[in-house]
Amino acid sequence: MILGFTLVTTVTRSAVDLSRLTPVPPDQTIPVEDFFRPGRIYSPSLNKSGTRVAAITSGEDDKTMLLILDVATWKPEILYAQNNKEVYSYKWLTDDRIMFNVSKDKRFADSMLVAQLGKKTKMYYLFRYGLTQIVGVPKADPLKPIVRIKGGTDGRDDLGAAVINAKLNVDTGRGAQTEKMSEWAFAQFINKQHIVRLLPEVDRDWGQVTAFQADREGELAYAYTIRDGIPKMHVLQDNKWSPSPIDLDAYHVHRVADTVGNILVTEALTSGAPAKVYELNVATGKVGEMIFQDEAYSFAGELYRDRRTDRIVGAIYDRAGPVSVWFDETYQRLQTALNAFFPQKVVRIYDSDDQARLFIVRVYSDQSPPAYHLVDLKQNKVTLIADSHPWLDPNRMQRTNIIQFTTAEADKLDAYVTLPAGASKENPPPLIVLPHGGPWARDRWGFNAEVQFLASRGYAVLQPNYRGSTGSGWKFSKADQWDFVKMHDDVTRATKALIRSGYVDPDRVAIMGSSFGGYLALMGAVHEPDLYQCAITFAGVFDWEESVKTAALFKHENPEYQLFVRNLGDPDEEAEKYERFSPGRQVEQIRIPVFVAHGKEDNVVSVRESRRLIHDLRKYGIEHESLLLSGEGHGTANIENSVELYSRIETFLREHL
């Protein structure tokens, strides 16, 4: 239910009942699916005039679709609810024309479409059977957007950037002109019809193209490549690409600056001080004005651009907790008023119309999932658009506390602790250590469904932001940020610090993680036999030499291999390092039960990693359980698989803690 209406689709519903939109009664255990079912709404945005809101939404069938809401009436319209296809991204072109991308089976890029909204909305294919990414929407002609085109569902055949015609309505009903075509031939017909022109190709001698970027006018301006692990930037001038002198090892690019020809960057090499945000001239590499610096955290967030003035007006990012810093007094006053209107909540300005009169704000806390509201400054009115998880009662969720722990080098890092109901020093609960993936990411203070699920089952949860986590990288050398053993040591130190506090039971501690977090979980199982009673790993990497060799098979399509070799070294020449980093080679040291899970179609971390681990656990007689999920990639996209995974995790933890 969103604003009083019910989403109705005609496709087959999930085996898990997703029709209930209200919380279960307080005397009932919250079902597993309530924590992991897709949010009811996310990524909302306003069209230019503020007459419509678009958002990704989910229905009772575990599918994501495109939702259009009329702001005057709040009448909903659902676009593209078809069988095994789902909408995963979109972009407003004009007030009544919207472009969106569709996936197949929750894993494969399938199509790009455009919808002409009106009394009778019409949808047309722009591309079929390929990965297309929106690069820019030119202000001068928004119906000729710029997209990056890759052929095939895996996107390996990179065709570069192109201007496409989003106004041309090609007959997708297979009329007389195309009725004798095969499905594939028809798709190619559609694709060719919509390409106005291919934009200049980036010289392949510069390496693999990793991204394109538009300027403030929405025109293609920059390209990024990587060769031998070294990233480079290129600028489009006079319809030709020229290398930029900017050293991308020294800077992280955020977005284009207010000054034409400049970009906004954060220092990557900061010499022991939090990184500053600068303007940088792309053609000359000359450093311009410093925009912002936090006194304790390197900036890793969003620089907010006002849609009316087209200028950067604020920085939205995370310290230990979320913050918004506004450079514009109007926005600061708005933020202050919103904070007062939503006390004890985080309020983040999310989007606006082109006149900066209507705003979408995202409101949440550690106990409350995000809710989106429309703020009308002219009418001084706030309207709820939708709660993302109305079936979860915030009063049954637990508070998340911020703590710090100390590394071996005496640096202070952040961690989050969530205690279950009734926990105290007199009644210390079992602990789940939950390191994040990445590793160059971070856990953030706020609502976390996985954490709240574990807390609802009686566990305390520790989320340590180990070295390499965004925001604190300035405290460590680049080598330290690629030292996976030191990351493991940070997690161990955070765990022991919490145990010393007396708030958790030292004899009932488990470690659990996904992706790189799964790697850290196995590192804990190998190297800390007296600290953890069991370990859970999902889609983890366990042998880095094998991972590098697997990446080498796709080195012409994916820059991952280059980055590994440049930063970790060649495994043939750095054998000792790879041995030290790889817990999968030390399975015989494990003395605790291990739960291993992985998606069988994972194209980020090969399922072979987990299959080999399962084989070795069996070989050495180590107690273990396993779950290999069909139809899943790097994570669980299907609600039935999420429910099975976390139900198995719940049972495993109950048996071993």
**What integer is the mean pLDDT of 32-60?**
95
Question: pLDDT at position 548, please?
Answer: 85
Residue range 158-167, pLDDT digits in tens? 789 999 999 8
Q: Is there a contact between 526 and 589 (Cβ–Cβ < 8 Å)?
A: yes
Average pLDDT value for the chain: 91
473 or 497: whose pLDDT is higher? 497
Question: pLDDT at position 565, please?
Answer: 85
**What integer is the mean pLDDT of 275-299?**
93
User: What is the band of 175 on the pLDDT scale with cuts at 50, 70, 90?
Assistant: very low
Best CA proximity match to 486, nearest among 466, 460, 462, 457:
466
Question: pLDDT at position 153, please?
Answer: 41
Question: pLDDT at position 189, please?
Answer: 72
Residue range 193-213, pLDDT digits in tens? 888 888 999 998 898 899 999
Q: What is the DSSP letter of 330?
A: H
User: What is the band of 2 on the pLDDT scale with cuts at 50, 70, 90?
Assistant: very low
The two three-digit tokens of residue 367, written as one number? 């106990």
Q: Is there a contact between 610 and 616 (Cβ–Cβ < 8 Å)?
A: no
**What integer is the mean pLDDT of 18-24?**
93
Question: pLDDT at position 169, please?
Answer: 75
What global pTM score does this model have?
A: 0.93
Is the per-residue pLDDT at 190 higher than 90? no
Question: pLDDT at position 211, please?
Answer: 93
User: What is the band of 623 on the pLDDT scale with cuts at 50, 70, 90?
Assistant: very high
User: What is the band of 555 on the pLDDT scale with cuts at 50, 70, 90?
Assistant: low
Q: Which of 59-73, 75-89, 169-183 has the highest mean pLDDT?
A: 59-73
**What integer is the mean pLDDT of 225-253?**
92
User: What is the band of 603 on the pLDDT scale with cuts at 50, 70, 90?
Assistant: confident
> By 3-state DSSP, what share of the chain in percent is helix, strand and coil, each rounded to 5?
20, 35, 45
Report the alpha-carbon distance of residue 500 to residue 486 in Å, rounded.
21
User: What is the band of 566 on the pLDDT scale with cuts at 50, 70, 90?
Assistant: confident
Q: Is there a contact between 264 and 303 (Cβ–Cβ < 8 Å)?
A: yes
Is the per-residue pLDDT at 174 higher than 60? no
Q: 562: exposed, middle or buried (C-beta count within 10 Å: 0-12, 13-18, 19+)?
A: buried
Question: pLDDT at position 14, please?
Answer: 53
Question: pLDDT at position 6, please?
Answer: 35
Best CA proximity match to 68, nearest among 125, 123, 17:
123
For a pLDDT cut of 90, what percent of the chain falls above it?
Answer: 75
Is the per-residue pLDDT at 53 higher than 90? yes
C-alpha distances in Å from residue 512, one per residue of 38, 536, 595:
22, 4, 9
268 or 187: whose pLDDT is higher? 268
472 or 550: whose pLDDT is higher? 472
User: What is the band of 442 on the pLDDT scale with cuts at 50, 70, 90?
Assistant: very high
Is the per-residue pLDDT at 132 higher than 80? yes
Coil, helix or strand for 83? coil
The two three-digit tokens of residue 252, written as one number? 């992280």
Residues with Cβ within 8 Å of 627's Cβ and at least 6 positions away in sequence, in order, are: 595, 596, 597, 598, 644, 645, 648
C-alpha distances in Å from residue 249, one per residue of 206, 245, 471:
16, 12, 17
Is the per-residue pLDDT at 614 higher than 60? yes
**What integer is the mean pLDDT of 274-290?**
93
Residue range 313-372, pLDDT digits in tens? 999 999 999 999 999 999 999 999 999 999 999 999 999 999 999 999 999 999 999 999
Residue range 381-418, pLDDT digits in tens? 999 999 999 999 999 999 999 999 999 999 999 999 99
Residues with Cβ within 8 Å of 288's Cβ and at least 6 positions away in sequence, in order, are: 257, 259, 262, 278, 279, 280, 281
